[in-house]
């Protein structure tokens, strides 16, 4: 079974990546399956949640797994991730099209799937607290699980989820992505809770407010609108996500780091 193609490098006709030697037969060697895995996060009730799916078959039957699926022959990995996201979350396609999807990393250990060689491109998505993921089709099996609640995850999905969580925490420091966790209109208190939940830290309210407002394009005030948040207290002004993507200067989490 050993591949003829991959080793064909004779005669200076070497194959740099993205390059196929002459006489290469696509079917001559054991193929790689290429899939996408999705680490979809939301903030719900002061806790970080991930979208997981209960597996119904071996291997890892009964375990939780990340949503995902195969990359189709004429699809980029990002498109596949977006398609799967729409299927699993039940969100309308146009909403999914506007979501921020970030490529996390590719997992390619030879034995990560016991059945065959599967190379998986992992993506991270941040979504607002949705009513419920039950949209139709695959979404029926998906559930929001509080981070760290469930035990073992299938395959290497625990690694992927941990990597994704770490990345999200770091991203909040120097990008405007926190607004992706919020509904279209939100208060600064809600935005602050996103940071506090992901970082597991309490932030100084006045200073947080100043920093956010001092970054041009991070948030834009919705004229005249306000909303009560905790039931009590002064109604808070409402804001929309602004056009900015980067955060200068960054919003650093206090104290080295805490998980």
If contact means CB under 5 to 8 A according to the sort of partner, which of DNA, its own copies, none does residue 14 touch?
its own copies
Q: Which of residues 92-151 bind its own copies (CB under 8 A)?
A: 103, 105-110, 112-113, 115-122, 138, 141
CB of 200 to DNA, least distance (A): 16
CA quadruple 227, 99, 175, 71: dihedral, nearest 10 = 150
Q: Which stretch binds its own copies (CB under 8 A): 8-16, 89-97, 190-198, 205-213?
A: 8-16
If contact means CB under 5 to 8 A according to the sort of partner, which of DNA, its own copies, none does residue 46 touch?
none
Contact residues for DNA, defined by CB under 7 A: 187-189, 204-207, 209-211, 214, 226, 228-237, 249, 252, 254
Q: Is there binding between residue 63 and its own copies (CB under 8 A)?
A: no
CB of 258 to DNA, least distance (A): 14
If contact means CB under 5 to 8 A according to the sort of partner, which of DNA, its own copies, none does residue 134 touch?
none
Calculate ∠ Cα 147-148-151, nearest 5°: 130
Q: Is there binding between residue 69 and its own copies (CB under 8 A)?
A: yes
- Residue 136, token pair as written in the block: 């139709």
Buried b (16+ CB within 10 A) or exposed e, 48-86: bbbbbbebeeeebeebbbbbbbebeeeeebeebbbbbbb
Contacts of 220 (CB under 8 A, 6+ apart): 239, 240, 241, 242
């Amino acid at each position: 079974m050993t591949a003829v193609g991959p080793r064909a490098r004779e005669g200076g006709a070497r194959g740099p990546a993205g390059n196929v030697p002459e006489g290469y037969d696509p079917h001559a060697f054991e193929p790689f399956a290429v899939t996408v895995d999705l680490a979809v996060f939301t903030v719900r009730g002061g806790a970080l949640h991930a979208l997981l799916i209960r597996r119904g078959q071996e291997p890892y039957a009964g375990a939780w797994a990340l949503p995902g699926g195969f990359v189709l022959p004429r699809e980029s990995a990002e498109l596949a991730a977006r398609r799967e996201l729409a299927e699993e979350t039940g969100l309308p396609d146009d909403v999914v099209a506007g979501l921020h999807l970030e490529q996390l990393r590719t997992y390619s250990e030879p034995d990560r799937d016991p059945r065959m060689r599967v190379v998986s491109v992992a993506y991270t998505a941040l979504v607002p607290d949705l009513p419920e993921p039950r949209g139709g089709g695959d979404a029926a099996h998906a559930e929001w699980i509080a981070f760290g609640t469930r035990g073992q995850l299938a395959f290497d999905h625990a690694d992927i989820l941990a990597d994704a969580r770490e990345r999200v925490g770091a991203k909040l420091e120097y990008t405007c992505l926190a607004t992706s966790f919020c509904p279209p209109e939100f208060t600064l208190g809600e935005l602050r809770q996103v940071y506090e939940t992901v970082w597991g830290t309490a932030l100084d309210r006045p200073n947080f407010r100043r920093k956010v407002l001092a970054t041009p394009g991070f948030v834009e005030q919705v004229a005249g609108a306000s909303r009560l948040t905790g039931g009590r207290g002064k109604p808070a002004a409402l804001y929309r996500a602004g056009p900015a993507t980067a955060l200068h200067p960054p919003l650093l989490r206090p104290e080295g780091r805490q998980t």
